[in-house]
Amino acid sequence: MSARILVVDDIEANVRLLEAKLSAEYYEVLVAYDGPTALAMAAADKPDIVLLDVMMPGMDGFSVCRRLKDDPETRHVPVVLVTALDGRADRVAGLEAGADDFLTKPIDDVMLFARVRSLTRLKAVIDELREREASGRRMGVIAGAASRMGGSGGRILIVDDNQRQAERVCAELSIEHRPIVETEPEKALMAARGPVDLIIFNAAAKGFDGLRFAAQIRSDEATRSLPLLAIVDFDERTRLVKALEIGVNDILARPIDPGELSARAKTQIRRKRYTDYLRNNLDHSLELAVTDQLTGLHNRRYMTGQLEALLQRAAQGGEPVAVMAIDIDHFKKINDSFGHDVGDEVLREFAVRLASNVRAIDLPVRHGGEEFVVVMPDTDLEDAHRIAERIRLHVAGSPFRVMGGQELLTVTISIGVASSLPEEARSEPLLKRADEAMYEAKSKGRNRVVARAA
């Protein structure tokens, strides 16, 4: 997987060396020699990863990283700090500024490319979610933007058979989070299916294969998006690189530094909450695209696609499809007399009665205003007429309670019924016949069902 990488360093030799290494692996490389230029390029050129030197004059790497993470347009871009500093305070400062990881000079090529591949995969997932969210926003089915999401209060699953190490990790994380410890991978896999924000596991566990556990998390659809933080001995290069290849999000070196543990956990939890926000917005936008928000029934857009598919199947020798067109009688009078809030109550109550009086295979739809449609697969005109009459009697048979039960309204409906003709593969003629039958029912005095064969 290729990517666009922005390399930032005030020393040209360092930039050229990284540029040569990355270009040889077919990455597209952008370069900047100072912080302000890097910020401008990140906003304009949309890199997939930023490799950022820490020690730069004017604006250092920590400041640049903080600015990138404060900007909603760039906060999702992974930032790797490249530094000759290898002290605890510098790592923690970088993580608190929002950095995703560190590379220490001189840069190890194996670690460089393992980290770049891992972060590129992560960025691709977030980009897809962001694009879908943006599409939903343009369609008007998503409103608002993500607030800055914190990384505290997380539900953390610690998987480790080293009791002393697990207890120390748990004690440190308990200050800001809700950790639990599990020593057996089978039980941990089950626990991971619950409400978990982060999994921290010992990649060098004695009683189980930590990397196999990580692979199982990534292969299970229910858990594959959970962030994984591996505790690894940095001397075990093969295990470390393999962890990144499997899909581990971050690495924590032993001996564990409490401040670094806390900072890395916050980073992963914050990112998970951001991706969850994007996924939830996407799910919500899909729901909004097919659902009427007042009644909870499907909407006209969804009905059209479903009806077309059923009609095509019927035209190829399948069972006929029937349609009801339903109108609430004198609905305007209800709105004028009691107000639109009461009108909405009537629509919601009618939707409940409608949905409870059709079959599981039928599709009740709010077509618009006080008009509803029911699509009825594998149904001929006679059966559709009988079901429509049952619905009409149920609606008219008991009053609608509105205004908290203070008012009882008698509501009636007019229904037109039509069934598909042989080789009729388009929805418009069928819907038109049902609509005409419904208007005939209204013209004949309302509160009745009219069926139209052709």
Residues 175, 59 within the same domain: no
Per-residue DSSP letters for 334-355? HHHHH-HHHHHHHHHHHHHHHH
- Average pLDDT over all residues of the chain: 89
273 pLDDT above the threshold of 60: yes
Q: Are 340 and 328 in contact (CB under 8 A)?
A: no
* Between 379 and 111, the higher pLDDT residue: 379
Least confident among 90-99, 163-172, 279-288? 279-288
| 317 shares its domain with 330 | yes
Q: Which of 122, 145, 168 is the last residue of a domain?
A: 145
* pLDDT at 115 (0 to 100): 86
The 10s digit of each residue's pLDDT in 71-81 is 988 988 999 99
Dihedral sign for Cα 392, 398, 399, 402, please. Answer: negative
Residues 251, 306 within the same domain: no
Q: Give me the pLDDT at residue 208, please.
A: 96
CATH number of the domain encompassing residue 41: 3.40.50.2300
CA dist 129 and 279 (Å) reads 7
CA nearest to 348, candidates 400, 312, 305? 400
Which residue, among 395, 394, 373, has the nearest Cα to 384 in the 3D structure? 373
CA–CA separation, 331 vs 347, rounded Å? 9
pLDDT of residue 1: 56
The residue with greater pLDDT, 136 or 130, is 130
Look at 149-153, 211-215, 356-360, 362-366 and tell me which has the smallest mean pLDDT: 149-153
Residue among 24, 19, 14, 30 at smallest CA distance from 105: 14
Whether residues 3 and 135 share a domain: the answer is: yes
**Residues of the chain above pLDDT 90, percent:** 60
Highest mean pLDDT among 113-122, 156-165, 190-199, 284-293 belongs to: 156-165
Q: What is the pLDDT of residues 160-172, one digit of tens each?
A: 999 999 999 999 9
pLDDT of 142: 45
Q: Indicate whether 139 pLDDT > 50.
A: no
Stretch 115-142: mean pLDDT: 70
Taking only the tens place, the pLDDT of each residue in 98-110 is 898 888 888 888 8
CA angle 252, 266, 165 (to 5 degrees): 40
Q: Are residues 262 and 277 in the same domain?
A: yes
Structural domain includes residue 361: yes
- Among the three residues 145, 167, 202, which one is the final residue of a domain in this structure? 145
Residue 292 lies in a domain: no
Query: pLDDT-based confidence at 123, cuts 50/70/90?
Result: confident
* 223 and 96 share one domain: no
Active site residues: 370
pLDDT tens digits, one per residue of 171-180 = 999 998 999 9
- Please list, in sequence order, all residues whose beta carbon lies within 8 angstroms of the beta carbon of residue 418, skipping any fewer than 6 positions away: 322, 323, 325, 381, 430, 431, 433, 434, 437, 451, 452, 453
Mark whether 107 and 156 lie in a shared domain.
Answer: no
Does residue 1 fall inside a structural domain? yes
Whether 336 and 243 map to the same domain: the answer is: no
Residue 250, token pair as written in the block: 């971050």
The overall pTM is greater than 0.85: no
Do 270 and 414 sit in the same domain of this protein? no
pLDDT of amino acid 145: 44
CA nearest neighbour of 146 among 159, 155, 128, 133: 133
The whole-angstrom separation of Cα 109 and Cα 71 is 30
Q: Which residue carries 């939903």 as its tokens? A: 136
Q: Is residue 289 part of a domain?
A: no
- Among 289, 294, 399, 285, smallest CA distance to 341 is for 294
Q: Is residue 394 part of a domain?
A: yes
155 with 258, same domain: the answer is yes
- Segment 366-390 shows an average pLDDT of 94
Residue 284, pLDDT score: 56
Q: What is the pLDDT of residues 439-448, one digit of tens each?
A: 999 999 999 9
d(Cα 375, Cα 358) in Å, to the nearest integer? 10
Classify residue 376 as left (phi > 0), alpha (psi -120 to 50) or beta: beta
Which range scores top for mean pLDDT: 142-146, 266-270, 388-392? Answer: 388-392
Residue 263 has pLDDT above 60, yes or no: yes
Nearest to 264 by CA among 277, 248, 246: 248
Q: Give the per-residue pLDDT at 136.
A: 53
10 vs 6: CA distance, rounded Å: 13
Which domain, by its residues, includes 360? 300-452
Are both 69 and 198 inside the same structural domain?
A: no
Query: Domain tally for the chain?
Result: 3
**CATH number of domain containing 379:** 3.30.70.270
Of the residues 145, 176, 210, which one is the last residue of a structural domain? Answer: 145
Comparison of pLDDT for 438 and 85, the residue scoring more: 438
Residues 161 and 272 in one domain: yes
Please check whether residue 176 lies inside any domain of the structure.
yes
Residue 343 within a domain: yes
Look at residue 309 and tell me if it is in a domain.
Answer: yes
Q: What percent of the chain has pLDDT over 70?
A: 92
| In the predicted structure, residue 129 carries a pLDDT above the cut 80 | no
